[in-house]
Amino acid sequence: MTNTFSQVGTNVRKVDGMALATGGSLFVADLAPENALCGMILTSPHAHARIVRMDISKAEALDGVFAVLYHGNVPRILHTTAGQGFPEPSPYDTAMFDNKVRYVGDRVAAVAAETPEIAARALSLIEVEYEILEPVFDPVKALQPGAPIIHDEPDAHVVIPVPYDKDRNLAAFVETSVGDVDGTLARCDIVVSGTYTTQYAQHCPIEPHITLCELDPYGRVRITSSTQVPWHVRRIVAQCCEIPVRRIRVVKPRIGGGFGAKQEVLIEDVCTMLCLRSGQPVLMEYSRKDEFVSSRTRHPSVCTTTLGFSKDGKIQAIRMHMVLNTGAYGSHALTVGSNCGSKVLPMYPCEHIEFKMEGAYTNLPVGGAYRGYGATQAVFSVECLIDEVAAKLGRDPLELRVQNHIRSGMGSPIFKALGEGTEGVEMTIGSCGLPECISLGAEAIEWKKPRTSSGRKARGVGMAILMQGSSIPHVDMGAATIKLNEDGSFNLLMGATDLGTGSDTVLSQIAAEEIGVDTAMMIPLSSDTDVTPFDVGAYASSTTYLSGGAVKKAALLIRHQILEVAAEMLRCEQDKLSIEDGRILGGAKVITISDVALHSLYSHNQKQIMASASHITEKSPPPFAAHFVDVEVDLDTGFVKLLKYVSAVDCGTTIHPKLAEGQTEGATMNGISFALTEEYLFNEKGRMLNPSFGHYKIFTTADMPEMVTIMVPTYETTGPYGAKSVSEISINGALPAISNAIFNACGVRMMHGPFTPERVARALREKS
């Protein structure tokens, strides 16, 4: 496809790139005033316990301590920490501090003190007496009768009508079915089934959670926070601290990565309360250990899936039963759970589908939003089982996928059946570049080339196909305001939250394209709740598609206003005029946008050329991808070496090709690292044993395989300039693709991540 755009589709310089590369003062920690107090949290050493006595007097009396918070002196407001649309689909099961702790790492108290040393000393002076309760760590056991009840408080509840049964540790539940799965499976020529599990993992943004709260002279709180959801922060802090929204301003500076971890209002409420109580600015940051233990994680999963095929290789029925471990709180349990179905099951259209999801409370770290959002957990089983079917049929797994995958013009009953706490919406697939993703990816990995194993090194290839979504239809909203300055530049004020993804750049390109100027003329400002319009935040792969839609609409309004003034200046019909590269063409003479700005601000009939627009969506068009991997398995040690990894992705139009590739590469690498090494280790008391990068291994340059990224252009008519989403999808492929490649290499089926040498070696031993 040739690019007919001047800004869209080009690799303009990332707007914040050089400021970041020169080490500018841009992140929360860089912006803290010298006199900021240090906020610090005391966490629970027990997995499940009631606090029977607490004494904070010694901590309060310590010199340099300005505030101490615990359940005895803060309001008990049950809420969810999940940064989601209101009313939230996650249960209200969390208090700022409670008289019960539900996992090792749960909050017990917080202090604000002059220095970190004093804060730490103050925490050690807080006396807590616990009554230890029996914990439960296994999500399947937690759901069984007789299991210890984690949320035995009477007031935990849901705020939308969804199933919730805290007396059974059931934080979330979804069930849906179409057709007759039982009957169809009984008639199928081939039925495969398996239980696949995924492990605890953390997002590992290199900047951990951090928040700065300051009181201004008007008594308002300014929260500068590393967050993906500034508006949800404002709303939830107002809720928890019982202050009106109008007293809060949330500012998002540059963010050192989020990946979903920062779609959570984790420390802003406590930090604000400390600031209000002390009257001083307070800086609160998580250590790396806190980030692992007390932040959010990828919900571990136990997924039992059954596929039924006829002997001609046509899929007939799918059944999926997913149990998610949501840990001590139900943050995102329902929605991650429904996405397990909605982002995977439609990939193989058939008439008989059953999906059931149970989200179980346990006394372990809390699940949350993590790039991939359920699709990662669910696609593992489906894509491995497709290979199992291919093996049974003696077919090429690639061909079998080609025969069965969803295509442009097709729908799935699942789209309507599974929404996010509400009903979903019916959807027909518009753009679908899956066939090209598969063929180009296969070519890059040399799919057909025979791999020769030698000695103890077995070679194999594997693949997986993927889909995701682009924002949540009827739920998400993005908005933007644009205003024109004298020099022909524009302030682009967006609710959309650039968390390092490059959305300030991409959205600037969209605005510039629509107006007809160079991207350099846009001055983006994202997410200041006092200044920019609303946006739900950076999640659900929504920014380019949804917030981009808002930006494009606002830019169109601006273009009209510019042409209206220009027509007045040039005394001609507005529809004769057009804008190209910042100049107004079609009149008696060429004028610039700067001329128009000067005229409109100073000369005649003065007004500020500015416009705002909001955008919602009826659809969540899926991006698609095909991932391929070439592996070498050491049959003695079980070490899996990736020789080459290919990610071919259809995200519609790539507004900024390099940034889209970067999103794909980053997500792919995170997926590989998750598949091969990342996992939480716990002792028998539920304490995480490896909360550091030294013991929780994420991939570095030394570990990476050769990476090939292929962007397959399609055009999604409902998206801005044809764009869909790109950020999440590629984290999902590694687990099934590598499992399939290992199977191809040495005939063992890895069903439990991560595929560490020990696990693979054990599987090899069991096989022989």
Burial level of 48, CB count in 10 A (0-12/13-18/19+)? buried
Q: For other proteins, which is the closer residue by CB, 119 or 378? A: 119
SS3 593: helix
What is the closest distance, in whole angstroms, from the C-beta atom of residue 77 to other proteins in the complex? 32
CA distance 341 to 418: 7
Contact flag: residue 294 with other proteins (CB under 8 A): no
Give the bridge partners for 361, in sequence order: 327
What is the closest distance, in whole angstroms, from the C-beta atom of residue 698 to other proteins in the complex? 6
CA distance 170 to 326: 10
Q: For ligand FES, which is the closer residue by CB, 207 or 716? A: 207
Binding window for other proteins (CB under 8 A); candidates: 85-93, 95-103, 398-406, 703-711: 703-711
DSSP code per residue over 615-670: E--S--PPPEEEEEEEEEEETTT--EEEEEEEEEEE-BS-SSHHHHHHHHHHHHHH
Using CB distances below 5 to 8 A depending on partner kind, what does residue 146 bind out of ligand FES, other proteins, none? none
316, 481, 501, 526: which one contacts other proteins (CB under 8 A)? 501
What is the closest distance, in whole angstroms, from the C-beta atom of residue 486 to ligand FES in the complex? 35
Q: For other proteins, which is the closer residue by CB, 54 or 522? A: 522
Contact flag: residue 72 with ligand FES (CB under 6 A): no
Contact flag: residue 204 with other proteins (CB under 8 A): yes
Q: For ligand FES, which is the closer residue by CB, 88 or 285? A: 285
What is the closest distance, in whole angstroms, from the C-beta atom of residue 673 to other proteins in the complex? 9
Supply 30's token pair. 């860089």
- The number of angstroms, rounded, from the C-alpha of 493 to the middle of its chain's C-alpha atoms is 23
Using CB distances below 5 to 8 A depending on partner kind, what does residue 21 bind out of ligand FES, other proteins, none? other proteins
Using CB distances below 5 to 8 A depending on partner kind, what does residue 637 bind out of other proteins, ligand FES, none? none
Contact flag: residue 669 with other proteins (CB under 8 A): yes
| Total binding residues toward other proteins, as defined by CB under 8 A | 55
CB 705 within 8 A of CB 642: yes
Q: For ligand FES, which is the closer residue by CB, 177 or 287? A: 287
Contact flag: residue 217 with other proteins (CB under 8 A): no
Amino acid (one-letter) located at 336: V
Find the binding residues for other proteins in span 18-57 (CB under 8 A).
Answer: 18-27, 29-30
85, 139, 205, 365: which one contacts other proteins (CB under 8 A)? 205
Contact flag: residue 206 with ligand FES (CB under 6 A): yes
What is the closest distance, in whole angstroms, from the C-beta atom of residue 666 to ligand FES in the complex? 8
Using CB distances below 5 to 8 A depending on partner kind, what does residue 394 bind out of other proteins, ligand FES, none? none
Residue showing the smallest CB distance to ligand FES in the complex: 206
SS3 598: helix
Q: CB within 8 A of 733, min separation 6: which ones?
A: 379, 464, 466, 625, 627, 647, 668, 671
What is the closest distance, in whole angstroms, from the C-beta atom of residue 206 to ligand FES in the complex? 4
Using CB distances below 5 to 8 A depending on partner kind, what does residue 1 bind out of ligand FES, other proteins, none? none
What's phi and psi for 206, nearest 5 deg?
Answer: -70, -25
Using CB distances below 5 to 8 A depending on partner kind, what does residue 670 bind out of ligand FES, other proteins, none? other proteins
Question: Considering only CA atoms, which of 598, 589, 579, 612 is closest in space to residue 492?
Answer: 612
Using CB distances below 5 to 8 A depending on partner kind, what does residue 144 bind out of other proteins, ligand FES, none? none
CA distance 143 to 360: 6
Supply 663's token pair. 């999103």
Residue pointed to by tokens 């590393």: 226
135, 208, 533, 548: which one contacts other proteins (CB under 8 A)? 208
Q: For other proteins, which is the closer residue by CB, 19 or 140? A: 19
What is the closest distance, in whole angstroms, from the C-beta atom of residue 339 to ligand FES in the complex? 25
DSSP code per residue over 445-464: HTTTSPPPPBTTEEEEEEEE
Q: For other proteins, which is the closer residue by CB, 18 or 186? A: 18
Q: For other proteins, which is the closer residue by CB, 603 or 700? A: 700
428, 683, 692, 717: which one contacts other proteins (CB under 8 A)? 692
CB 336 within 8 A of CB 300: no
SS3 251: strand
Contact flag: residue 662 with ligand FES (CB under 6 A): no
Question: Considering only CA atoms, which of 81, 513, 463, 496 is closest in space to residue 255?
Answer: 496
Contact flag: residue 281 with other proteins (CB under 8 A): no
Q: For ligand FES, which is the closer residue by CB, 16 or 716? A: 16
Q: For other proteins, which is the closer residue by CB, 205 or 533? A: 205
CA distance 385 to 403: 15
Any idea how long the chain is?
A: 768
Find the binding residues for ligand FES in span 438-477 (CB under 6 A).
Answer: none
- Letters for 256-285 (x = contact with ligand FES by CB under 6 A, - = none) are -x----------------------------
- Letters for 230-269 (x = contact with other proteins by CB under 8 A, - = none) are ------------------------xxxx-x----------
Amino acid (one-letter) located at 123: L
Q: CB within 8 A of 161, min separation 6: which ones?
A: none
Q: CB within 8 A of 439, min separation 6: which ones?
A: none
Q: For ligand FES, which is the closer residue by CB, 138 or 665? A: 665
Distances (CA, A) of 628 to 74, 395, 447, 756: 52, 17, 8, 19
- What is the sign, positive or negative, of the torsion defined by CA atoms of 567, 571, 574, 578? negative
Contact flag: residue 668 with other proteins (CB under 8 A): yes
CA distance 741 to 152: 46
CA distance 254 to 283: 16
- The HSE-up count of residue 209 (CA atoms within 13 Å, CB side) is 29
Distances (CA, A) of 414 to 177, 362, 515, 539: 9, 29, 39, 21
Contact flag: residue 500 with ligand FES (CB under 6 A): yes
Contact flag: residue 208 with ligand FES (CB under 6 A): no
What's phi and psi for 474, nearest 5 deg?
Answer: 65, -5
Using CB distances below 5 to 8 A depending on partner kind, what does residue 681 bind out of ligand FES, other proteins, none? none
| Total binding residues toward ligand FES, as defined by CB under 6 A | 3
CA distance 291 to 550: 34
Q: CB within 8 A of 23, min separation 6: which ones?
A: none
CB 739 within 8 A of CB 626: no
CB 648 within 8 A of CB 712: yes
Q: For other proteins, which is the closer residue by CB, 64 or 747? A: 64
61, 132, 186, 206: which one contacts other proteins (CB under 8 A)? 206
Contact flag: residue 121 with other proteins (CB under 8 A): no
Using CB distances below 5 to 8 A depending on partner kind, what does residue 26 bind out of ligand FES, other proteins, none? other proteins
Supply 3's token pair. 């690019």
CA distance 591 to 583: 6
What is the closest distance, in whole angstroms, from the C-beta atom of residue 757 to other proteins in the complex? 20
Q: For other proteins, which is the closer residue by CB, 232 or 371? A: 371
Question: Cα(first)–Cα(last) distance of the chain, in Å?
Answer: 51
Q: For other proteins, which is the closer residue by CB, 196 or 680? A: 680
What is the closest distance, in whole angstroms, from the C-beta atom of residue 708 to ligand FES in the complex? 21
Contact flag: residue 665 with other proteins (CB under 8 A): yes
Residues of this chain that interact with other proteins (CB under 8 A) are 11, 13-14, 16-27, 29-30, 203-208, 254-257, 259, 287-288, 499-502, 658-659, 661-662, 664-670, 692-694, 698, 700-702, 704, 707, 709
Site residues for ligand FES per CB under 6 A: 206, 257, 500
